[in-house]
Each structure stands twice: as C-alpha cells, then as structure tokens.
Amino acid sequence: MEIVYRGLKGRRFLIVIDDIWSTKAWDQMQRTFPNDDNRSRILLTTRLKYVADYVSCPDFPPHRKSFLSQNDSWNLFTEKLFKNDPCPPLLVEIGKHIVRQCQGLPLSIVVVAGLFVKMDLTHDNWKEVEENLKSFFGTVTERCQSILSLSYNYLPQYLRDCFLYIGFFPEDREIDVSKLIRLWIAEQFVKARSNTRLEVVAEEYVQELIDRSLILTGTHSLTGRMKTCKIHDLLRQLCISEAHTKSVVHVMNGNDQHRMILLSEVEEKHDYGMQHSSGIIRTFISMQVHFPTRMCSIVSQFKLLKVLDVLPVLYDFSCVIPELVHLRYVAVRIEEALSLAKMRNLQTIIIRRHVYLGPTTLKQPLDIWRMSEIRHLDIDIPLYISNPDEAEQPLCLLNNLQTLYLRNSPFVAEIIRRTPNLKKLKILNRSKHPDFLDSLSMLQDLETLHIETQENIDPMIISGDIFLPNLKKLTLTRTRIPWEVVNLLANLPNLEVLKGNFAFAGTDWKVDEDVVFHKLKYLQLYGNYDLKRWEAAGSDNFPMLEQLILHWVIQLEEIPESIGDIMTLKFIKIKRCCSSVVNSAKRIQQEQESLGNYELLVLIYS
C-alpha cells in the first residue's frame, strides 16, 4: 500500500477497482490513494448495492448498470469474435438471435463468442449452437451457468480435462502457469506432437482457453512470458460441477471415490473414504500446512498415484515416496536420504527442506540417470546428484530435462554435459573455481541462468568464450566479477533481464559507446557497496531498458543523466542509496516531465 501511495502522491490519476465485495475492503483500500484535490478519480464496480451506496457521495451517486441493450450486446459479441472486422452478412441474422438468448449478460456474451473462436464460420455451425441455446431456461444465474456449461460442451476433447483441472485451484488466486502445465503433462492431458516439446503444446492449450474466454491472463514475467492465469468464479463452479459429475476430481468433503483428491481440509471422517479409494486414486494434492501423521500412511497405499503435490505440508515424506513407483510429479519435503531407484516415470521432482531438518548434507546421492522422462528437477537442499561418469553401464542423455536447480552439488559439469536441452539452470556452488562454467556453452537452448557462489569466482572464467544465444534472464549472486567483465555480457544477443546481487566489483563502471545491451529491459544492482561512478550513454548502451533497480548501492554518486533519454524507460526504483543518487533520479524525472513525458515513475525508499 505504501508503494502505491508514494507512486501516486502529487500525481493525477485514474484508478479502476473491479468487483469489491465489502465496505471493509474499501475502508482498507482508500487509505492507499492520496487526496491532493487535483481532480483524480477512482472508479469501482461491485455487485452489491449497499457497497455502492457506502462508497458513493452526493456529487457522484452510484451508476447502476442494467443489462446490455441488443445493440451493445451485438457490438460486444462481434468485437470479441471478429476484432475490427465486420460479421459476414450471412451470419448477422442468426448471430443476433444467438446474442438475444444471452439476455444482455456480458459474461454470457463473451463466453458464447468464445464458442465460435475456433469454429468454421458457416451457417450450419452457428445454427447448431443456436438450437442448443434454445433449450436453456431459468433465472439469469441459471441461464448464465447453462450457457457456461455449453462452452464446456463445445470444447475439443483434448482441452476438456485441462479446463476442469483449473477449477480445483483455490478460489480467487492466480494460478502458476508453469506448475499447471507440468501437472497437465504428468496427468497425460497433453498430446505429443512431432518436433514440439510438450510444454510448448501445453502453452498453446492455455492460450486457446484464453481465446475462448474460459480463463484470464494474469501476470507476466520480466521476459514477457505469461506467469499466472486466473478463472472467473462462475467458470470455476462449472469446472467443479462437471468434474464431480464425471467423478474425475474430488475436493475432500465426503467419502466419494474419485480419481483425484484435492485436500482443502483434513478431518478424521475422511480417512475411511480415502483408504477404500486407494485403488483408483491417481492424483493427491494438499493445500494444507497441517497434515495428520495417519494421512501419510494412507497416502502410501495409493499405489497407482501419478501426482503427489504436498509441498505446503510440514511433514517428512522420504519414507512414502519410494513406495509410489508410478509417480510422474512429486513435490514434497524430506529430512531423510531419498531413494528414487524405482521411480523410472518421474517427470517433475520438487524437493524442499523439512522445517525440522538441520544444516547437515544428505549423503546419499540422487540417481536420476535411469529417468529418461525427467523434465524438471528442483532440489533446494544439499542433496546431490550422482556422478554420471561413474555409472556401471553407459547412460543416455537426459534430453527431456529442461529445468535444473542444484544446491552445493558436485559433478555439475558432468551433469550439464548430459542435459543438453536445459531451459532453466540455477546453481549454488561454494567453489571459487567452479568447473562447470566452461560447460555452459553446450546449453544452446538455455533461457534462464542463475549462478550463486559463496566466494568470488575467477573473473577469467566468466569472461571466456561462453556464448548462450538464447539466454534471456541472467542472475549473478556473490560472483564479484569486475565491471569490465560485466560489459562483455552485452554479447549475449537476447539478454532481457540482468540481476546482480553482490555480484560486481570495482569503483567505476564505464559502459563504452560500443557496448550495447540490445534487448535488456530490466537491470537490477543490489549490494554493490564499492561502486562510486557509473558512466553510460543511456539509449546508446541500453536502448530497450524499461526498469532500473538500485538497492544498497551505497557509494554510487549519481545515476547517469543520459539514462533519462531512454525512450522505453518506465520505472526507476531507489532503495537505501545515498542522497545524491536520489537527487539524480528526481532530476531525471523532472527533466522528462518538462519534455512532456509523465510516464516515468520514480520510487524512493530510505
């Protein structure tokens, strides 16, 4: 709230807040918005009359929206379906009749439009939809739910299970798209396509559900990739209803038998039903932190389990996992050495430290080299992977492995040589002379790289001939490499995000004119205590920069004035830097405003 207040203070703004459900929520939010008497405006929507009356004032009474007129309904329908193109004349009459069935409810209109997005524009197809619409009656809410269910019925078969799955994420929360895709793949919802990774196919599934107005885009990563998605409450209820009808998924509130159990609450009365369902359950997901010990013994009986996601649960699952040999996706906490010798089907492994686990390293190595299906490996504890070069039998490459997170693991270079298609790599390594850096050049598809060391690494290693043509995001932590070596990172042609955390060394960073970070959008300098002077030619060096973050760069004298000339710059954030840096940021903002650019936001924190 403080960040928003600081960003708005002294500025004229229009804020839009959608779907407020209580007066208490408004009371909490309104303190975020400064009242500077400068004709700023706040527009909010609510479904509750008493909330609208509470928020309104005599000069601005509530605007009560009725259902859309026929004309507005038609305009909304055609805009969603045809964008800027007109509706084909042959379909206008039947199209308007279809829209009339929605009775002016925008959600219904948008969803009905989604039915036609992937459909051939023929009169027969539209006639079929029109005839189905005629069978729906009832109240507006019932009619809306019925129309929404029609959108499910018109989904292609390959999208139906994917859509139902989304409904069982917690209500009103954004859904991690990467996690969703991995779960879909583990459930075998995603159909293989020649020469295309399953993850790419699944991303197309997500986009198709968005195109059909069944899910919404959420946040995006710094590189522009969709990070989260979300689903409307009514559509979520549709997912739950359809899934229960088909006995596909069960939110644990009874003893029914379903192929998936999602625990939102854990009570003793559920034990019996779970025990007697053990032969058919394929998926077990828990959102709860507290998890009775007896439940773990029950989970171990689910011998056909494909997905086990109990990461929020503060319990050691190291004894349970080896019994579940059909697992494809596992996200757990452990405190004992873990044997995965029988787990040949695993695709995703996410392992976290159990809350009671001490600092000792788990000595038994993790043998992944027989797991030809492994795609994502995220190990955030000192549990190391076995040395592939010491295997008794020849090993194949892990061509499907795309995500690899390792903490204090030996044999990193050997592992990299056998995982040529990595997309994301994160390594915490205590060595001052890590042997894996030279092997990075093998990873031609690598997009995200995070290197963290406990000591300064030899700058000659990172300044060598490492070339990663597809690298988009680079995070360096405690590497302490010289600034002249940092300039060499401009040779990475697709680098969009550069984060340095106690990463760079030296009092002067001079970015020469011929050093151009062609695609860099986000630059973060954190904890560079010795940097005093920064010379740069602004748009010449950073032509695409959008965000500049300086945190604990305590000796830096000022931000280069030319940074303000970067046309794409939207945001400067300063935290715990000296006053001269703060003043230089304010000067840049003032100069931009004098030129008519009011888009640059500068946030200052003490």
Q: Which helix (H) or strand (E) holds 525?
A: strand 522-526
Helix axes 198-211, 157-166, angle to 10 degrees: 80
- Give the N- to C-terminal CA distance of the chain in Å, as an integer: 16
At 78 the pLDDT is: 94
At 258 the pLDDT is: 47
Strands 522-526 and 547-551: parallel
Closest residue by Cα to residue 189 from 206, 176, 172: 206
At 292 the pLDDT is: 67
Largest CA distance in the chain: 82
At 149 the pLDDT is: 83
At 487 the pLDDT is: 93
Residues of the chain with pLDDT under 50: 137-140, 252-258, 265-273, 276, 360, 464
Name the token pair of 562: 């030319």
* CATH number listed for the domain at residues 157-240: 1.10.10.10
User: Phi first, then psi: what are they for 265, rounded to 5°?
Assistant: -145, 150
Q: What digits encode the pLDDT tens for the residues 323-347?
A: 899 999 999 988 777 777 788 899 9
At 73 the pLDDT is: 94
Listed in order, the ranges of the chain carrying CATH 1.10.8 are 70-152
For 70-152, CATH number out of 2.60.40, 1.10.287, 1.20.58, 1.10.8 equals 1.10.8
Name the token pair of 542: 């950073």
pTM above 0.85, yes or no: no
Listed in order, the ranges of the chain carrying CATH 1.10.10.10 are 157-240
